[in-house]
Structure 1
Amino acid sequence: MKFRIHHLAILSLSALLIAAGCGNNNASNSSTTTNASGAAEATALPESSKLNIKVSFYPIYEFTKNVAGDLADVEALIPAGIEPHDWEPTAQDMAEISDADMLIYNGAGMEGWVDQVLESVSGTPLITVEASKGLDIMEGTEEEEADHHHEEGEHAHEDGEHAHEEGEHAHEEGEHAHEEGEHAHEEHSHDHGGLDPHVWLNPTLAIQEVRNIEAALAAAAPEHAEDFKTNAEAYVAKLEQLDQEFKDGLKDTKRKDFITQHAAFGYLAKQYGLTQVPIAGLSPEQEPSAANMSKIVEFAKEHKVKTIFFETLVSSSVADTIAKEIGAKAAVLNPIEGLTEEDRSQNLDYLGIMRQNLEALKSALNE
């Protein structure tokens, strides 16, 4: 998917920076560097004011809020119920980012709009923190698929050129197939850049993100460093307990492979000895090819899969189609990219949804 920041947003931000003298009144003495862990370092902010922190989407909000406690105002840019792959900042969002002390985002290609935002605020006192910095980021699944389409297009183009001697129509078909291959390749380049950003779905990697966030907050407000450390330790203990629950719950399952509509669970699968079999790639909007759908159906029948997982915030139609084809059921495995209204009504948070995911996996892997 292509993420664009409208010219209006850029111009609005430029005007704000000029009007404010390219500075943030709450953090006028701060500067941004990067330490060995990849978290941001900054000089102290005024003690009289809370940190004003903008974060990209829900998991980063949850981690940041638990570390910051009452010592910062933390707000997610992407509203609840919005698929983060679909979101791009408005002029108002850009203004709010420029007025904040800190912007914290996941990174690893998840927020396709971040690079342009960072370029726009370069030279301002805004502290930026990539929570996944320093983590072992895996390659995604889309590049291979897109490159495969691209090679098919090149091959068809060559066939078309060869057929030119026999007729212009065959040549045009080859050109058309070549363009389709180029289009598939171009679409890939605007998704996650070939990287899998879903690190928060592995509790041990979530702990590392929390640590990066803690280091950044402590650097920005050193007078509260001990408070941030205490808060982080308390939340890390909960994540460690969650990790143990996943280890205990998944170690002796009857099967180790599960089919998902969206390739979001690679880190979780790797951590607990499972195999994710995705219907489509990293982007939830990616439509699987007919050939890939056929392969998934064949795999599901061969391995007697009885559950096809889909996710919240996007249509379940692909998972429903495959489930109906093989006589299986469709069930939710939540990538926690944003809370739904139902999640909020049940007061669910990251830990609660992860435990729901664990129960869903235990059920499917023991059928």
Structure 2
Amino acid sequence: MRYTKNIGLLFIAITVFLAACGSNSNKELVEGKTNVVTSFYPLYYLASEIGGDNVNVVNLIPAGVEPHDWTPKSQDLTIASKAQLFLYNGAGLEGWTDDFLTGLPKNSGLVAAEMSKGIEMIHGNPEEDEHEDEGHDHDHDLDVDPHTWVSPKSAIIMAANVRDSLVQADAAHKDEFEANYKELVGKLEALNDEFETKLATAPHNTIVVSHQAFGYLARDYGLKQIAITGLSPDAEPRPQDLLNVAKLVKSEGIKYIYFEELVSRDLANTIADETNTELLVLNPIEGLTPKQEKAGEDYLSLMEQNLQNLLTGLQ
């Protein structure tokens, strides 16, 4: 069978994902400001934009560390115990949250808030039933898709949650938080409008991605996500999964395979070689690379780049 050509190489190429999840923010508290601890980069971005000069945002998960696997150290607990607010995504992304909060000193005034609250969750893989009879069976270790922030529609909801949490922690600066929120959400709504308008006219709607991180993006903008690996970054596809992805790419005339910059591209690259397709970046924005941070990239600019690459790949 022609699709078996590189399957051995594909399995050799399976590696542990190293999606980065944080800005290189200093883990230091600042007196005279509301100290906000965030679990990973998207929340760090939202809290920084909405909080402005009145807050000091500390991001827990360092760059280069996958959020599903990260666990806090004692110094992280110490920092959080002296902060006023802890923002985490929820939806199963940070499996350490319950133990972390339980470990706080009893006199800690830290308020914890889940930022994915209010988003309609995706349970498992919506394409699962369609592909199971073909042998394309993803991991079942996560009941809920936690990658809410990858859709601008979800980011708008999360921004409101961040604003509300900041107001709860620091009511004296409610007006400033509200003004910053309105400015940010205007940009997010413009981004959402651009995604809706431009993706609606794309000739195709199927994206083949290395990691099943784009379910909310696909749901909200009429796309169909086919993932090489599942919801959990360390999930490993079976040989039959890889054969089916290759067959699908050929049968649907797909021209591009999407990979993530902070993750090994070996699987995507080998499928691209097998199917004579090209590679493009689709960034789940779990964190910034040092190069992106130095260049002043942020959630908005990276989502703009995602849209351009989607439009290229869906031609």
Task: Give the TM-score range, shorter chain.
Answer: 0.7 to 0.9
Q: Which amino acid aligns with 2:109?
A: P
Q: 2:257 touches 2:279 (CA, 8 Å); kept in 1?
A: yes
2:119 counterpart of 1:135: yes
Change beyond 3 A, Cα 1:188–1:95: farther
Q: 1:284 touches 1:314 (CA, 8 Å); kept in 2?
A: no
Instruction: Tell me the percent identity.
Output: 41
Superposition deviation, residue 315 in structure 1: 0.7
Instruction: Provide the C-alpha distance between the structure 1 equivalents of 2:290 and 2:66, rounded to a whole number of angstroms.
Output: 13
Superposition deviation, residue 116 in structure 1: 1.0
Superposition deviation, residue 188 in structure 1: 4.6
What residue number does 1:223 align with?
A: 172
Q: 2:257 touches 2:277 (CA, 8 Å); kept in 1?
A: yes
Instruction: Provide the C-alpha distance between the structure 2 equivalents of 1:341 and 1:81, rounded to a whole number of angstroms.
Output: 10
Write out aligned runs for 1:261-276 (5 A): 261-276=210-225
2:263 counterpart of 1:279: no
Q: Secondary structure at the match of 2:213?
A: coil
What residue number does 1:41 align with?
A: none
User: RMSD in angstroms over aligned alpha carbons?
Assistant: 2.3
What residue number does 2:244 align with?
A: 295
Which of 168, 190, 203 is the matching residue for 2:152? 203
What residue number does 2:190 align with?
A: 241
Q: Which amino acid aligns with 1:258?
A: I
Superposition deviation, residue 143 in structure 1: 12
Which of 83, 100, 103 is the matching residue for 2:86? 103
Which of 55, 69, 73 is the matching residue for 1:90? 73
Superposition deviation, residue 92 in structure 1: 1.1
What residue number does 2:100 align with?
A: 117
**CA offsets per residue over residues 170-211 of structure 1, 9 Å max, x none?**
xxxxxxxxxxxxxx99x854xxx3111111111111111110
Superposition deviation, residue 312 in structure 1: 2.3
What residue number does 1:319 align with?
A: 268
User: Any unmatched runs of 5+ in structure 2?
Assistant: 1-15, 17-29
Instruction: Provide the C-alpha distance between the structure 1 equivalents of 2:105 and 2:222, rounded to a whole number of angstroms.
Output: 42
Superposition deviation, residue 286 in structure 1: 1.6
Q: Secondary structure at the match of 1:54?
A: strand
Change beyond 3 A, Cα 1:327–1:275: same
Q: 2:60 touches 2:76 (CA, 8 Å); kept in 1?
A: yes
Superposition deviation, residue 129 in structure 1: 1.0
Q: Secondary structure at the match of 1:244?
A: helix
What residue number does 1:55 align with?
A: 38
Greater C-alpha radius of gyration: 1
Q: 1:142 touches 1:281 (CA, 8 Å); kept in 2?
A: no
Change beyond 3 A, Cα 1:289–1:299: same
Q: Which has the higher helix share?
A: 1
Q: 1:83 touches 1:338 (CA, 8 Å); kept in 2?
A: no
Q: Which amino acid aligns with 1:109?
A: G
Q: Secondary structure at the match of 1:86?
A: coil
Change beyond 3 A, Cα 1:144–1:362: closer
Which of 268, 287, 298 is the matching residue for 1:338? 287
Superposition deviation, residue 337 in structure 1: 0.5
What residue number does 2:59 align with?
A: 76
Could you tell which deviates more after superposition, 48-57 or 265-274?
A: 48-57
Q: Secondary structure at the match of 1:261?
A: strand
Q: Which amino acid aligns with 2:100?
A: V
Q: Secondary structure at the match of 1:279?
A: strand
Q: Secondary structure at the match of 1:74?
A: strand
Change beyond 3 A, Cα 1:62–1:112: same
Q: Secondary structure at the match of 2:68?
A: helix
Instruction: Provide the C-alpha distance between the structure 2 equivalents of 1:143 and 1:303, rounded to a whole number of angstroms.
Output: 16
Instruction: Provide the C-alpha distance between the structure 2 equivalents of 1:287 and 1:325, rounded to a whole number of angstroms.
Output: 19
Instruction: Provide the C-alpha distance between the structure 2 equivalents of 1:54 and 1:220, rounded to a whole number of angstroms.
Output: 12
Q: Secondary structure at the match of 1:84?
A: coil
Q: 1:109 touches 1:195 (CA, 8 Å); kept in 2?
A: yes
Instruction: Provide the C-alpha distance between the structure 1 equivalents of 2:85 and 2:168, rounded to a whole number of angstroms.
Output: 11
Q: Secondary structure at the match of 1:330?
A: strand
Bigger relative contact order, structure 1 or 2 (CA pairs below 8 A, ≥6 apart): 2
Write out aligned runs for 1:166-185 (5 A): none
Instruction: Provide the C-alpha distance between the structure 2 equivalents of 1:282 and 1:122, rounded to a whole number of angstroms.
Output: 33
Q: 2:124 touches 2:140 (CA, 8 Å); kept in 1?
A: no
User: Any unmatched runs of 5+ in structure 1?
Assistant: 2-25, 27-47, 153-183
Q: Which amino acid aligns with 2:112?
A: T
Q: 2:77 touches 2:103 (CA, 8 Å); kept in 1?
A: no
Normalising by structure 1, report the TM-score: 0.72
